[in-house]
Homo-oligomer: A and B are copies of this chain.
């Protein structure tokens, strides 16, 4: 068995991240990570007739970009693992249908980038494929009208709310090649502590991030201080503060917690409330800023923990809680 402890998997063949690509919308491009994205759009419609079609084009662009940057062609790719926030995961299905590659649709809400990378890594580690793509996307405008209000309504949002990132990120995970390696992964459990406020996703997801992080540390016996960065997906300001509090209460101290939702926007000047969110948030930050830091070895050992809020407008209307989930990937340069 390649399982360590209760929840963690050891990838003894250390799959390699050989290609990566990020594309974001104009507002994300105005943020502090501007120079790290491969493409910043001038407008969020991307020349398409709808925001949903624009989102499909985002993921198609990032997947093709990552394959190209890995020095590979479409025919070298064994499978794609992808999913997104749109109903019935349509941005992935429609954006990637033309590629003619075996496709696994997944759904982990905003944890999708970590889930797709986790599954791709296991497939490569087990020699079920040589080059696999993991990808996801989100779009502010398609998410707002699906989950909240049509933009035309002009609703105001509370300070606890987060802003869905318009963007996509994709990576190629390979058996051979140069690049950061994926050593261990921890698939998360669904954690439901009774949060019901759909405008405070960070609070709903923080307990899941803590649960998976603590499971990894317990399973592996690793020292939390050996990591240069512990990067969550999109907890935002409120969720990140909660995560710190929870892991501190569990006896873990670190000053290396970062969150993609806090990195991608300047909260004050960009009016981004509690920070960025959406599948595309952690995907574009990881495939841009983080990959460049890994390549330059400014980051040598990190944990990527993307978090998802498992809800829909229907479940919220029916008075349900918002369960969270978080999947973890350990990435090292050695």
Contact = CB atoms under 8 A, between A and B. Distances in A.
Contacts of A311: 88, 90
Contacts of A127: 1-2
Contacts of A103: 187-190, 325
A43 to B, nearest CB: 19
A3 interface: yes
Contacts of A226: none
Interface string A78-117: 1100010111111001101100111111111100000100
Interface in A93-149: 93-94, 96-97, 100-109, 115, 119, 122-123, 125-130, 146
Contact of A123 (B79, B94, B104, B122): B122
A312 B107 CA distance: 15
Interface stretch (A49-57, A150-158, A238-246): A49-57
Interface string A304-330: 000000111111001010010100000
A2 B129 CA distance: 8
A66 interface: no
Q: State how many copies of this chain the complex holds.
A: 2
A126 B115 CA distance: 18
A178 B12 CA distance: 30
Contacts of A315: 52, 88, 90, 94
B90 A312 contact: yes
A107 B88 contact: yes
Contacts of A173: none
Contact of A1 (B100, B105, B130): B130
Contacts of A130: 1
Contacts of A52: 314-315, 318
Interface string A187-198: 111101000000
Interface of A: 1-3, 7, 9, 49-50, 52-53, 78-79, 83, 85-90, 93-94, 96-97, 100-109, 115, 119, 122-123, 125-130, 146, 186-190, 192, 310-315, 318, 320, 323, 325
Given A89-B107, A93-B325, A106-B107, 16 more contacts: A3-B78, A7-B102, A49-B318, A86-B312, A88-B310, A88-B311, A103-B188, A103-B189, A104-B106, A105-B310, A105-B325, A107-B107, A122-B122, A122-B123, A126-B126, A126-B128
27 contacts: A1-B129, A2-B126, A3-B78, A3-B128, A52-B314, A53-B318, A79-B187, A83-B107, A88-B107, A88-B311, A89-B107, A90-B310, A90-B311, A90-B312, A93-B310, A93-B323, A94-B323, A97-B310, A101-B189, A102-B186, A102-B187, A105-B109, A105-B310, A106-B107, A119-B119, A126-B126, A126-B128
